Structure formats: structure tokens, C-alpha cells
Amino acid sequence: MITKIITTLTLLLFSLAVFAQKEPVKVDKGYKVEIKTSAVCEMCKEAIESDLVFEKGVKEVNLDVDTKILTVVYKEKKTSADKIRKRVTEVGYHADDMKRDPEAYDNLPMCCKDGAHDDDGH
Ligand SMILES: [Cu+2]
């Protein structure tokens, strides 16, 4: 009985982990992927977008600060969703299941750190 519950829970957690990361979808200009980040404000948006826009193969970048979702359109021959996620971690933010680079995070402005916007609800 216990074993059955554990198996069910494990499967459930596993499927949640898989669904947490969105698969890229085909669009006119290449592929589009939505990546959940740890961005908290307009400065984060600026930092991530201005960095990603120069990344090889990246066509369009947009971060929605409210949902923390980064939408990227890229050429599948020049880059991949994982490379883009990696790049986001190097700017200092989590990207889906990929953890941010600790050094990059240390260098972020104070307002972009965890909890900086908790008090006023932003
Ligand atoms: Cu910020």
C-alpha cells in the first residue's frame, strides 16, 4: 500500500517537473520558447533582454515582469532552448529548472535580489 502511494507520488512529481518546462513551438521565424525566470523588476527585464538579444540565433526576446516568463524566438540551427536557459543563468537568474550563476547573482543591483520587492508587493 505504502509502496503504491510512493510510486504514485513519484510519478506525479516527475510529470509536474516535466510540465514545468515548456517545449519550444514552431513559429514563422524559427522556434519560440517560454522560460520561467526569477526576474523581479524592470531592471531585471532590461538586463535579461539586453543580454539575450545579442545571443547567437536569438531573434526576439520579451520578458513579462508580472509572470516572470521570458519568451524567446530563436533559430534552431544556431542555438537551443537549453543554451538560452544557460545564458539566462549567466545573467544571474533562474531559468526553469536551471539554477542561476551565484557570482552573476551577486553582481545584480540590490533591487533585483530575492525579496527586494516583497514589501511593496512588486
Ligand atoms: Cu530587477
Check if the beta carbon of residue 73 is closer than 8 Å to that of residue 64. no
SS3 101: coil
Question: Per-residue pLDDT tens for 68-108?
Answer: 999 999 999 999 999 999 999 999 999 999 999 999 999 99
**pLDDT at residue 122 above 70?**
no
3-class DSSP state of 17: helix
Q: How far is the CA of 33 from the centre of ligand 1 (A)?
A: 22
Cα 86 to ligand 1 centroid, rounded to whole Å: 18
Distance 24 CA to ligand 1 centre (A): 26
Work out the pLDDT band at 12, boundaries 50, 70, 90.
confident
Per DSSP, the three-state class of 70 is strand
- Domain borders along the chain are 23-112
Could you tell me which CATH class the domain 23-112 is placed in? alpha beta
Give per-residue pLDDT as tens, 106-120: 999 999 998 887 765
Residue 79 has a pLDDT of: 98
pLDDT at 120: 53
Report the run of H or E that residue 36 belongs to, with start and end.
Answer: strand 30-36
